[in-house]
């Protein structure tokens, strides 16, 4: 384990202890829910290359996310969640943008 990773882990443990001790407000900390990029991609029946191309992602980023070398940042995590729940809306929106007709893109209505 590298010193940087170790230091990050120790800092996180200190933050947990501060929350447990009541000296830190737990509302100020965010838990990052992981996104299973491979599950999203395979559910859509796409290769890494096709998934990246279809949703305007870097194929290198898709590979890194799937292999655990990197984690998607907040914006990418949210985008991937929208792709997982509403892939056809994302496709339509991207196609309309590519055609220069953003006004014809469907309205996005996200509900549970």
The answer to whether the CB of 57 falls within 8 A of the CB of 70 is: no
CA pseudo-torsion sign 53, 57, 63, 67: negative
Q: What percentage of the chain reaches a pLDDT higher than 90?
A: 46
pLDDT of residue 109: 45
- In tens, the pLDDT along 33-64 reads 789 999 999 999 999 999 999 999 999 999 99
Is residue 85 scored above 80 in pLDDT?
Answer: yes
Tokens of residue 97, six digits: 């943008």
Largest Cα–Cα distance of the chain, in whole Å? 56
Highest mean pLDDT: which range of 15-24, 53-62, 69-78:
53-62
- CA 46 – CA 66 distance, rounded (Å): 13
We find that the CATH architecture of domain 33-112 is Orthogonal Bundle (1.10)
pLDDT of residue 111: 38
| Of 3-17, 43-57, 68-82, minimum mean pLDDT range | 3-17
Tokens of residue 3, six digits: 């010193």
What confidence category does residue 12 fall into, taking pLDDT thresholds of 50, 70 and 90?
Answer: confident
Question: Against a cut of 0.75, is the pTM above it?
Answer: no
For residue 37, report the phi and psi dihedrals to the nearest 5 degrees.
-60, -40
The answer to whether the CB of 34 falls within 8 A of the CB of 71 is: yes
Q: What are the start-end ranges of the H helices in 37-86?
A: 37-43, 48-54, 59-66, 74-85
The answer to whether the CB of 79 falls within 8 A of the CB of 51 is: no
């Amino acid at each position: 384990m590298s010193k940087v990773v170790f230091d990050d882990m120790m800092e996180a443990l200190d933050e947990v202890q501060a929350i447990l001790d009541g000296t830190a407000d737990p509302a100020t900390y965010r838990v990052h829910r992981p996104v299973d990029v491979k599950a999203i991609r395979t559910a859509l029946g796409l290769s890494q290359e096709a998934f990246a191309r279809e949703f305007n992602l870097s194929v290198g980023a898709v590979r890194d996310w799937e292999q655990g070398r990197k984690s998607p940042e907040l914006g990418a995590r949210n985008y991937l969640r929208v792709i997982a729940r509403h892939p056809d809306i994302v496709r339509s929106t991207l196609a309309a943008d590519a055609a220069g007709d953003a006004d014809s893109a469907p309205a996005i209505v996200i509900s549970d």
